[in-house]
């Protein structure tokens, strides 16, 4: 499984790189704080896999990196090869990039 760090993600955002960010947390978590990604909770990731781009890089994120890793594994079994797990999730983002973001 390919992973990227929160520093890598910030660079991608800052440089205007064309990629898709998918947040696999639950709706209430997303409402509390998010990085602007598309919300597709882990429980529905295979049902909604058609919302995930197969051409450009896709970063999958969650709270800590565990659910997003599970999502990446499930999607890779469906043939996706362009996925990156966000190491440490939104907790790492709050710790290393933006300490003002709400974490739980």
**Rounded CA separation 18/62 (Å):** 20
Residue 62 annotated in active site: yes
Give the CA distances from residue 55 to residues 7, 38, 58, 83, 90, in Å, rounded to whole numbers and listed in that order: 23, 16, 9, 10, 25
Catalytic residue among 40, 42, 62, 71: 62
User: Which sequence positions are flagged as catalytic?
Assistant: 62
């Amino acid at each position: 499984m390919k992973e990227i760090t929160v520093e890598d993600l910030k660079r991608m955002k800052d440089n205007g790189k064309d990629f898709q960010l998918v947040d696999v947390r639950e709706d209430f978590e997303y409402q509390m704080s998010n990085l602007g990604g598309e919300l597709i909770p882990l429980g529905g990731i295979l049902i909604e896999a058609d919302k995930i781009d197969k051409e450009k890089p896709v970063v999958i994120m969650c709270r800590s990196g565990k659910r997003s890793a599970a999502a990446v594994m499930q999607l890779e079994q469906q043939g996706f090869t362009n996925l990156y797990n966000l190491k440490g999730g939104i907790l790492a983002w709050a710790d290393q990039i933006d300490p003002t973001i709400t974490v739980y």
